[in-house]
Amino acid sequence: MNMSLRKIWLIVRSEYWRRVRSKAFILATLLVPFGFVLVAAAPAALGYLAEQNSSKTVAVVDQTGGQLADSLAAVSDDQLTFRPVSHPTDSVRAAVRAGTYDGYLLLPDSLLTGKGHATYYGMQGGGLTDQIQIEGRVSEVVRQQRLRAANATKGVLSILQSDVSVQNRTIQEVGTGADHTFAYTAIGYVMAFVIYFAVFVYGQYVMQGVIEEKSSRVVEIIVSSVRPFELLMGKVLGIGAMGLTQMVVWAAVVMGVLAGAAPLLALFLDPASLGVPADASSTAVAEAAGLSIPPVPYALLGWFILFFVGGFLLYASLFAAVGSAVEQQQDAQNLLLPVMTPLILPILFLAFVLESPDATTSVVLSLVPFFSPILMMLRAAITSVPVWQMLTALGLLAITFVTMIGLAGRIYRVGILSYGKTPSLREIARWATYR
Amino acid sequence: MAHLDVSNVTKRYGDTVAVNDVSFSAKPGRILGLLGPNGAGKTSTIRMITYIAVPDAGTVRYDGRTVGPWSQQRMGYLPEESGLYKRLRVKEQLVYLGTLKGLSEAKAAERADYWLDRFGATDWADLKTEELSKGMQQKVQFIATLLHDPSLLIFDEPFSGLDPINAELLRDIILELRREDRTILFASHRMEQVEQLCDDICLMANGEVVLDGALRDVKQRFGKNTLILEFDGPDTFIDELAGTGRVRVNTRSAHRAELTLADGADARSVLDLALDRTDELYRYERVEPPLNEIFVDTVGEAEARRMQHESVTGTA
């Protein structure tokens, strides 16, 4: 093997392993997707838990004659128990304070004639769920009592008692383009942001690695064995490989956890609250709860990897150049401006490109090398981008990367051995001209 | 084993000339002392020898060929301020650095074991480098410098921060490397270390070589212009001598003085005065000047003071 390539390979391997086997990396790689799933599933899970905990006993002070209280007692369940009481209101109130009941319900005489209001007195406000539950049952009981009072026939009663449920279904299979647009817009958004964050985070890793090497002064030993450019390349590729590993693991864990956990979670979810029929399959429940992921075309994943790699390489070399100029992370802030600006700009264009992905402006913006990893990915997801545009964007990205890493290498070479005052951008630009 | 030849090398950084037309050579089996204060151009020169930097003009040749990646493999460099990867384990670190110098992994591991044993450091092999004391880290760095059996060795202030026992160990190994006919470059501003270790010296100031040659020749060139006196009794005669400009005082204590004779001054008149004024004169000797005085003589008082100050305060 060529000596230079062998050295780059040795550096890539060392940089990669050193990081991948660290506790921090392993923890982050394994925990982040679980955190992601947790965040996605938290609202449903919490709602379920809240329901479990809210088993309440409500005293019923019935001033209408006792029929209503008995009917309510009959519709009690695990979560909500109605207990008819005949004590004076004051003593019931005291019992609630003492904690015997969670609250009491006052049903005034006028309730049956439709004039009065049932009133619930509790120690706490009570959650929305409780309120809805109590209200629902009271009105049901009152309605039946009134119907009986009006001598309604059995037939009328049974008609009124039959449940009416509405099933929500999304139209799938053919047609309804709107549905697809939404899914792919979401995918495009996610991909654009993942590239943005990945380039940003892993770029910072590279910068931090360069700064560590410089401030620990190990760099002078290394560059007495390898060319600075080989060290730069090895570091960028090693950390890039680490990032790719992490993202692949994340993607696999997220998909695996969703595939395995969605049906499991669905068991805990109340189908009725999601608007699916009670006997719906767990997959359908999970889908309704937003726990499923739409299928992503393989070609799109392929482009995603290419643009991630290209974007990372381009920006990482610039992060490395900035890192070489400073001795501590905080000194890098001002110097990062020219690196961060082209990275953030496409985020500002996102909305426009999303709105009109085929407009000339969008096409041009998505071809600009510093923007293409984010904007071309977005367009690729939401519209059918001609292959020549994709290839042109990648080609331009590659050319820019080669130019930039050459420039970054010249800066890096001088920077890693310069200690003392943090240089200005102008000084750094001059380093590139040194022999 | 081969020569190192630095010929007419110049290096500029922006408008600053760091090294200006510098030439010297180092021979196998000898130790060349590269001397000079901060900013004299020592580090810049060393970086060109180690192919970390490239000269703007002139050439650096090792074994007759211009230095490059090939020579980096045959060379061991211990930078003045250097460090290691903090989170790598000691042996892993050594093997990594060894493979970057072209060793196979197995060979690097084997040699790391040998040297760790030699330094009584086998127990550290699996420790993280950040868990080691400063002195231990320095030993590991020293091992990293020697691991690939280099024929050219460059030590930049290797003794700074070492305790006396480890300094002694290091000195023994440097002398052993010299016996094995390796070419050794030793950069320092500590004159007494250079005087003890080096066969040849190259004195730099302001980016230029101001004095160069075998240590013995250089000393002889300056002649026996130095007087050492040991005595009892009043020492005011020294002030008298210095006041008339006949001598310059190098060092002085209650009972001892080291004086440099001014050009054309009569050594005998110093002896006469000393005999006359002191109660007892134990020693009067004319010797070759210590390196320090040669340095003062060559680069001037101000520059020399600056360097002495650095060596005392340890800034470098």
Q: Are residues B211 and B229 located together in one domain of the fold?
A: no
Binned at pLDDT 50, 70 and 90, residue A164 comes out as: low
pLDDT at A172 over 50: no
Residue A272 or residue B118, greater confidence: B118
Q: Are residues B99 and B123 located together in one domain of the fold?
A: yes
Residue B205 or residue A113, greater confidence: B205
Q: Are residues B45 and B121 located together in one domain of the fold?
A: yes
Q: Which candidate in A17, A23, A218 is best for mutational testing of the B interface (most B CBs within 10 A)?
A: A218
pLDDT at A154 over 80: no
Going from the C-alpha of B295 to that of each of A39, A400, B301, the distances in angstroms are: 72, 53, 9
Which chain A residues are closer than 8 Å to B86 by Cβ? 212, 216
Residue of B nearest to A427 (CA): B14
Q: Provide the CA B268 distance to its chain's centre, in angstroms.
A: 35
pLDDT tens-digit readout, A30-58: 888 777 767 766 766 676 666 555 677 88
CATH of the domain at B241: 3.30.70
Are the beta carbons of A221 and B77 separated by less than 8 Å? yes
CA dihedral A370, A375, A376, A380 (to 10 degrees): 170
Are the beta carbons of B54 and A435 separated by less than 8 Å? yes
pLDDT tens-digit readout, A354-399: 888 888 999 999 999 999 999 999 999 888 889 999 999 999 999 9
When pLDDT is averaged across residues A97-113 and rounded to a whole number, the result is: 80
d(CA B144, CA B138): 10
| Count of domains forming chain B | 2
d(CA A379, CA A362): 8
Binned at pLDDT 50, 70 and 90, residue A170 comes out as: very low
As a whole-number percent, the residues of chain A with pLDDT over 90 amount to 31
d(CA B13, CA A428): 12
Q: Are residues B255 and B212 located together in one domain of the fold?
A: no
Q: What residue ranges of chain B have pLDDT lower than 70?
A: 1, 301-316
What does the domain layout of chain A look like in residue ranges?
3-38+177-431, 55-157
Residue A138 or residue B284, greater confidence: B284
Q: Are residues B80 and B181 located together in one domain of the fold?
A: yes
Determine the pLDDT at residue A169: 46
Class (C level, CATH) for A55-157: alpha beta
Which chain B residues are closer than 8 Å to A430 by Cβ? 14
Residue of A nearest to B68 (CA): A227
Determine the pLDDT at residue A173: 41
Instruction: Look at residue B103 and tell me if it is in a domain.
Output: yes
Determine the pLDDT at residue A38: 74
If we measure between CA atoms, which residue out of A334, A361, A360 comes closest to residue A346?
A361
Instruction: Look at residue B96 and tell me if it is in a domain.
Output: yes
Q: How far is A213 from chain B (nearest CA, A)?
A: 7
pLDDT tens-digit readout, B261-301: 887 778 888 888 888 888 889 999 888 888 888 887 787 76
Are the beta carbons of B14 and A430 separated by less than 8 Å? yes
Judge whether A199 and A377 are in contact, CB under 8 Å.
no
Instruction: Look at residue B309 and tell me if it is in a domain.
Output: no
Highest mean pLDDT of the ranges A273-277, A321-325, B80-84? A321-325
Q: Are residues B143 and B80 located together in one domain of the fold?
A: yes
Domain, as residue range, for B240: 224-287
CATH of the domain at B153: 3.40.50.300
Binned at pLDDT 50, 70 and 90, residue A72 comes out as: confident
A120-125: long-range contacts, CB 8 A cutoff, minimum separation 24: A120/A58, A121/A93, A121/A96, A122/A96, A123/A96, A123/A97
Q: Are residues B208 and B66 located together in one domain of the fold?
A: yes
CA dihedral B85, B69, B52, B152 (to 10 degrees): 80
Q: Are residues B283 and B212 located together in one domain of the fold?
A: no
Q: Are residues B266 and B184 located together in one domain of the fold?
A: no
Are the beta carbons of A221 and B79 separated by less than 8 Å? yes
Q: Are residues B177 and B246 located together in one domain of the fold?
A: no
Q: Are residues B213 and B118 located together in one domain of the fold?
A: yes
Which chain B residues are closer than 8 Å to A432 by Cβ? none
Q: Are residues B147 and B179 located together in one domain of the fold?
A: yes
**Mean pLDDT taken over chain A:** 81
d(CA A96, CA A57): 10
Q: Find the range with the poorest average confidence among A139-143, A304-308, A387-391.
A: A139-143
